Chain A
Amino acid sequence: MANSNKLSKSAEQNAVLTLGDVTIRFGGLTAVNGVSMSVKRGSIVGLIGPNGAGKTTAFNVITGFYKPSSGYVEFTPPNAPPMKITGLDPHKICKAGIARTFQNIRLFGNGTVLENVMTGAYVRQKSKWWMNILPVFPGAIREEREIRRQAAVLLERLDLIRFMNAHAASLPYGAQRRLEIARALATKPSFLLLDEPAAGMNPRESAELLGFIRTLRDEFDLSILLIEHDMKVVMGVCERIWVLDEGRLIADGDSAAIRGNPRVIEAYLGKEASHA
């Protein structure tokens, strides 16, 4: 692997997420093959590649839905030592501070917009489930009220407050995508994974999204890893880009380096195009 050893020492020390030689096989198919990469704290990193390159599989490994066949994933929460998250249950990985959105939106369709966001906040809720059966625990009542308030603040921030009591499934497409981000932010993550945030958006909307992703990072103190097919978004917002093809990491670097990289052009457009 050409790129796996290139990580500089300083980048590794500052890493919020490190993938170490991660391989995952489904029967005879190797979906992700020996991928090593790291994400610097506070950066916005893009993960690109043609369809079937293993991008979403890599996301599912990071969030704990797939256990890698070999290799490890290491996550460093803010002000804490690095922890191996390989093999942890997804809800524990979320608790550690990793949140994500989905390529095909997965909201809680029967719940209201507010309830969706409040559900995200449950992972940080301290009071136990039975404490709300009788109104005799002032701490629990206060916490519920605080969760409701913070959820409303998030909705306000993501311009969804007018939908607060609407059913999540009844929202327009773009609003549903924002709601997914709001729900992810409600879990108070330090690392956010966005799976094709610009999918189905028109050019104007994706241009807005660019600025919005940057603001999110600054406002909520996040590191962001995003999968995206919209090259304008990727090149515009990502400080570093990793390129996957057929499960292998074929390139990484800033947008200029990726744009000129013959292997990337070959992966996307075929052999002749890269020689042209």
Chain B
Amino acid sequence: MMSASSGNRIRNNILTLAAAALLAVSLWLAPKYLDGYKIRIINLIAINAILGLSLNLIYGMAGMFSLGHAGFMAIGAYVSALLILTPEQKSMMWILDPIAPWLLNLHAPFYVSLLLAGIAAAFFGWLISLPILRLGGDYLGIATLGFSEILRILIANLTPITNGPIGLKGIPAHTNLWVSYGCLLVLLIAVIRLMGSNFGNVMRAVRDDEIAAETMGINTFRTKALAFTIGCFGAGVGGALMGNIITTIDAKMFTITQTYNILMIVVIGGLGSITGSILGSVIITTMLEWLRFVENPITIGAFKMDGKPGMRMVIFSILLVAVIIFRREGIMGMREFSWDWILSRPAAIRNRFASGETPKGGDLNG
């Protein structure tokens, strides 16, 4: 906060460090007390937060409606997996067509593969941004969706490189809590710093009014291409982490449904809010798992229902519609979390009750 005195700033820094330490202790304790399924969900929360944050950078902060996130995830997942798999594993796996010879002996350690996965996705993002960023609004959404589908079909058919419809199996499960939350932390700090700098102002300006931004000397095309490329980097890293936790990838993993899940995180959390993407990821990821119970056979008294796979997506769609109708701006809107706001809550709530007014909306600035 601008008006925070240096005393407040020190207090906030201490609180942030304390929260980080608390998170670290929980991550350290979690494997001791939780089973593998729960650990995976906690991992997925971080990975989805990375994906949500990177899509938010493109859609929420720079205002480009992109439906191609799954495609860039696929690039990241495949690049990472192909680099990690050993030549022996590769020569065993390609049974339809022989593997491309140059690819067979290509090998890199996990962290290098993560970085290269991000760079590869960013490169493709930059490449397709050049022709398609001239489009605006919904047209951009359609174009990115098309690109993502083309990529998926390419992956399913480019057998010498991707092993076609069989996909890649036996990827070592490198992703653990430290890796996924470490990546999230790095990305989070980078995005917070970036959006807090004047370049962040510029990105939001391009989103709010492109013509005014261009008039103020901003190369709007370059700014949008840059935001898109950075977002795709995040998608690539997220995809790679995903591949390394599921240990099996194929083209079917990266359909439009995957993009929609991430889009849901961003929209429900709040377009343009970093905090929102994190909250959205926590909510959507846990709900997606928790709602699995509706797909089991249910008996309520005399009413019996067979388990129907896909039922949770129906419920999810209804929830999404409700959010769009009743709270369009999502949980956070464009606001961000701050310690000053949290610490002022008890007093604010007391005041509300003391003055007897009915609380109105979620005014986080109050």
Q: Are A123 and B201 touching (Cβ within 8 A)?
A: no
Among A94, A102, A110, A115, contact of B217 (Cβ-Cβ < 8 Å)? A94
Interface size class of B (residues with CB under 8 A): 20 to 34
Q: Which residues of chain A are within 8 angstroms of B219 by Cβ–Cβ distance?
A: 89, 91
B194 proximal to A (CB < 8 A): yes
A90 to B215 alpha-carbon distance, docked (Å): 6
Q: Could you give, for residues 126-149 of chain A, a 1 whenever the CB lies within 8 Å of some chain B CB and a 0 otherwise?
A: 000100111100000000100100
Q: Are A110 and B204 in contact, CB atoms less than 8 angstroms apart?
A: yes
Q: Mark B203-231, 1 if CB is under 8 A from A, else 0.
A: 01101110111111111100000100000
In the complex, A183→B226 CA distance in Å? Answer: 24
Nearest to B226 among chain A residues (CB) is: A129
Is B334 close to A, CB under 8 A?
yes
| Interface: A119 (CB within 8 A) | yes
Q: Is the CB of B220 within 8 A of A125?
A: no
User: Does chain A have a CB within 8 A of B240?
Assistant: no
Point out the residues of chain A lying under 8 angstroms from B213, CB to CB. Answer: 108, 119
The answer to whether A165 and B208 touch (CB under 8 A), given A94-B215, A119-B198, is no
> Is the CB of B349 closer than 8 A to any CB of chain A?
no
In the assembled complex, B158 has its CB within 8 A of some CB on chain A? no
Alpha-carbon gap, A187 to B213, bound state (A):
11
Task: Compute the total of residue contacts between A and B using a CB distance below 8 Å.
Answer: 101
B342 contacts A by Cβ under 8 Å:
no
Complex Cα distance, B223 from A68, in Å, reads 27
**A66 adjacent to chain B (CB < 8 Å):** no
Asked if B135 is an interface residue, CB under 8 A from chain A, the answer is: no
List of A residues within 8 angstroms of B202 by Cβ = 119, 122
B204: contacting residue among A89, A111, A121, A125, CB under 8 A: A111
* Neighbouring A residues of B214 by C-beta, 8 Å: 89-91
B134 CB, min distance to chain A CBs, angstroms? 13
Flag if A119 contacts B216 (CB, 8 Å).
yes
Q: Flag if B209 contacts A106 (CB, 8 Å).
A: yes
Q: Give the secondary structure class of B's interface.
A: helix
Contact with A along B110-154 (1 / 0, CB 8 A): 000000000000000000000000000000000000000000000
* Pairwise interchain contact B215-A63, C-beta atoms closer than 8 A: yes
Q: Are B211 and A106 in contact (CB under 8 A)?
A: yes
A163 contacts the other chain (CB 8 A): no
Complex Cα distance A102/B212, Å? 8
Determine if B9 is an interface residue (Cβ-Cβ < 8 Å).
no
26 contacts between A and B (CB under 8 A): A65-B211, A91-B216, A91-B218, A95-B217, A99-B216, A100-B215, A108-B204, A108-B205, A108-B212, A110-B204, A110-B272, A111-B205, A114-B2, A118-B201, A119-B198, A119-B205, A119-B213, A119-B216, A120-B217, A122-B198, A122-B216, A129-B199, A129-B226, A132-B198, A134-B193, A187-B217
Taking A108-B201, A115-B205, A119-B202 as given, write out 9 further A-B residue pairs in contact, using a Cβ cutoff of 8 Å, ordered by the A residue number.
Answer: A91-B215, A109-B208, A110-B272, A122-B202, A122-B216, A129-B194, A129-B199, A132-B194, A147-B198
